[in-house]
């Protein structure tokens, strides 16, 4: 249970560090790239200490694909967070848990039970609630259905990208490979680092030494959260891990953002949060 608690705390910390860097006006492209570089070196060192130098094919392939998903999700995440805050952005990414559930049904022969079906429908119901136009000064051209549709598409892509991230971790667990967790994460974060540095090279304006602290802190948080999540899945059933990891992580993020940054949400957004939270729990329930 300790691994699950650690994974949840660091998962919540990830979003809060991104928001902190954003409020400091740091270069998020630089912070993101440094984050993945830090996590890569952390797990490369750990894999070397453990004697893991020759990865199995599933470890390398799933790690590379997972790295592409991770860095894509990060870019979408901080862009959405800039407009809607960390609470709403975190609620959206937690909806991505629907994807690994559906893949488990189609490819791994798992049955979609009634509670899980209800969770999928709740996730779809949460999307329009979380895309309510924000603020009171929207121009006519950016208001109404056009804005809702545009944000709905962005929201769906963000949830999908994070679903692919969770699918990578679940896929590694399903591969049956043991003892290569840090090697898997080194491939994952190494791939994300290569993409992140390449993208940052085109967005270097505003980069400064101020980006170092949040970038390194984010990388260590990311590295430890994913290591603890893999360890938790090796010891506990997913039916316990994913509901707690997603629901408790979301609750901690919202609480911190409300207390320290006074993030406000309107009634429909709060309703969307509640529906999203219920969806995350339901899709992971087994009767």
Task: Answer for the pair 227, 81: CB distance below 8 angstroms, yes or no.
Answer: no
244 vs 159, which has greater pLDDT?
A: 159
pTM of the model: 0.79
**What pLDDT score was predicted for residue 111?**
66
| Residue whose pair of structure tokens reads 């898997």 in the numeric block | 184
Give ∠ CA 275-157-220 in degrees, rounded to 5. Answer: 85
pLDDT digits (tens, 9 = 90+) for 32-77: 999 999 999 999 998 887 666 678 899 999 999 999 999 999 998 8
* Nearest of 3, 73, 88 to residue 32 by alpha carbon: 73
Domain ranges in the chain are: 2-282
pLDDT digits (tens, 9 = 90+) for 91-141: 777 777 777 767 766 776 666 667 767 766 776 666 556 655 554 434 444
Give ∠ CA 232-101-12 in degrees, rounded to 5. Answer: 45
Percent of the chain with pLDDT over 70: 75
**What pLDDT score was predicted for residue 200?**
95
DSSP the chain: -HHHHHHHHHHHHHHHHHHHHHHTT--HHHHHHHHHHHHHHHHHHHHHHTT--S--HHHHHHHHHHHHHHHHHHHHHHHHHHHHHHHHHHHHHHGGGHHHHHHHHHHS-----HHHHHHHHHHHHHHHHHTPPPSS---GGGSTHHHHHHHHHHHHHHHHHHHHHHHHHHHHHHTT--S-HHHHHHHHHHHHHHHHHHHHTT--TT--GGGHHHHHHHHHHHHHHHHHHHHHHHHS-HHHHHHHHHHHHHHHHHHHHHHHH-----HHHHHHHHHHHHHHHHTT---
* Nearest of 79, 46, 32, 283 to residue 182 by alpha carbon: 46
138 vs 142: CA distance, rounded Å: 6
**What pLDDT score was predicted for residue 142?**
46
Mean residue pLDDT of the chain comes to 80
Q: What are phi and psi for residue 168, nearest 5 degrees? A: -65, -45
269 vs 275, which has greater pLDDT?
A: 275
**What pLDDT score was predicted for residue 65?**
95
pLDDT digits (tens, 9 = 90+) for 136-185: 434 444 444 554 566 667 777 888 888 898 889 888 888 878 888 889 99
The predicted model gives 12-38 an average pLDDT of: 93
Q: For residue 220, is pLDDT > 90?
A: yes
């Amino acid at each position: 249970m300790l691994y699950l608690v650690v994974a949840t705390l660091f998962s919540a910390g990830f979003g809060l560090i991104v928001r902190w860097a954003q409020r400091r006006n740091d270069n998020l492209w630089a912070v993101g790239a440094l984050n993945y570089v830090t996590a890569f070196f952390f797990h490369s060192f750990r894999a070397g200490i453990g004697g893991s130098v020759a990865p199995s094919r599933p470890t390398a392939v799933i790690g590379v694909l997972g790295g592409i998903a991770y860095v894509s999700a990060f870019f979408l995440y901080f862009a959405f967070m800039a407009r809607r805050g960390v609470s709403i952005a975190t609620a959206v990414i937690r909806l991505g848990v629907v994807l690994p559930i559906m893949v488990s049904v189609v490819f791994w022969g798992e049955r979609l039970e009634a509670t899980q079906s209800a969770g999928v429908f709740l996730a779809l119901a949460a999307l329009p609630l979380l895309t309510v136009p924000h603020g009171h000064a929207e121009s006519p051209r950016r208001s109404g259905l056009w804005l809702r549709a545009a944000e709905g598409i962005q929201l769906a892509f963000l949830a999908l990208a994070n679903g692919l991230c969770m699918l990578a971790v679940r896929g590694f667990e399903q591969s049956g490979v043991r003892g290569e967790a840090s090697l898997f994460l080194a491939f994952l974060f190494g791939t994300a680092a290569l993409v992140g540095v390449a993208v940052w090279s085109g967005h270097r304006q505003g980069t400064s030494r101020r980006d170092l602290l949040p970038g390194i802190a984010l990388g260590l948080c990311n590295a430890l959260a994913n290591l603890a999540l893999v360890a938790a899945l090796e010891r506990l059933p997913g039916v316990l891990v994913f509901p707690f990891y997603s629901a408790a992580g979301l609750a901690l993020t919202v609480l911190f953002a409300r207390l320290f940054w006074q993030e406000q949400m309107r009634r429909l957004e709060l309703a969307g949060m509640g529906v999203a939270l219920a969806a995350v729990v339901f899709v992971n329930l087994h009767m």
